[in-house]
């Protein structure tokens, strides 16, 4: 899976986390592993311009999604078999998101992760224009975000265990069988 990110916002954000949560959401949604995604982080003025140009709405917003290839169950009709595609672009505005994060009482990092998942779901055809659509999309968004956080917690725990095991085994002088250090 190819995810390109360009930070043109002037904000220092954890780009690797945004790529990680996007990759996680795309994989959980069973998108072809060779799919491509582009993410661009922009300033308030750029986002306001995009918002007016594409949505005919004034002022900046937090996230916009621009799908590229039409995704259909079973793939495109003109394609011999389902395969990789360009999902599209997610445009995030960290400065706008920072204000939302403050109001919501959580970190900018969490807000950007949430908006990334939101953007991915829009690229996959989810919407929230109608109450039923909103309920479905926001529930899926919350579930994917919680699963991603759980995967991060599990990875940290495994790393801690591995570090502890390395220290323990190193202190005891124990060597694993077959490492050339044991008896013949």
Q: Tokens 């060779």 label which residue?
A: 34
Please say whether the beta carbons of 126 and 138 come within 8 A: no
Full-model pTM:
0.82
Q: Give the C-alpha separation, 73 to 129, whole Å.
A: 22
Ordered by where they begin, the domains of the chain are 2-71+83-169 (3.40.390.30)
Of 113, 19, 13, 122, nearest in space to 65 by CA: 122
pLDDT in tens, 70-81: 554 444 445 555
Please say whether the beta carbons of 93 and 44 come within 8 A: yes
pLDDT in tens, 86-118: 899 999 999 999 999 999 999 999 999 999 999
Quote the pLDDT of residue 178: 60
Let me know how long the chain is. 184
């Amino acid at each position: 899976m190819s995810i390109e990110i360009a930070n043109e916002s002037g904000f220092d954000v954890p780009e690797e986390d945004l790529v990680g949560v996007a990759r996680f959401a795309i994989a959980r949604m069973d998108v072809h592993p060779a799919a491509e995604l582009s993410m661009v982080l922009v300033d308030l003025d750029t986002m306001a311009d995009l918002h007016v140009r594409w949505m005919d709405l004034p002022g900046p917003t937090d996230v916009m999604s621009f799908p590229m290839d039409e995704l259909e169950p079973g793939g495109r009709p003109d394609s011999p078999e389902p395969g990789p595609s360009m999902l599209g672009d997610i445009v995030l505005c960290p400065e706008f998101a920072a204000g939302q994060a403050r109001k919501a009482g959580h970190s900018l990092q969490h807000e950007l992760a949430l908006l990334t998942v939101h953007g991915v779901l829009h690229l996959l055809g989810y919407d929230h224009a109608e109450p039923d659509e909103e309920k479905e999309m926001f529930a899926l968004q919350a579930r994917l975000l919680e699963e991603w956080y759980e995967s991060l917690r599990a990875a940290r725990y495994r790393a801690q265990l591995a570090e502890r095991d390395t220290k323990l085994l190193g202190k005891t002088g124990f060597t694993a069988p077959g490492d050339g250090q044991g008896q013949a």
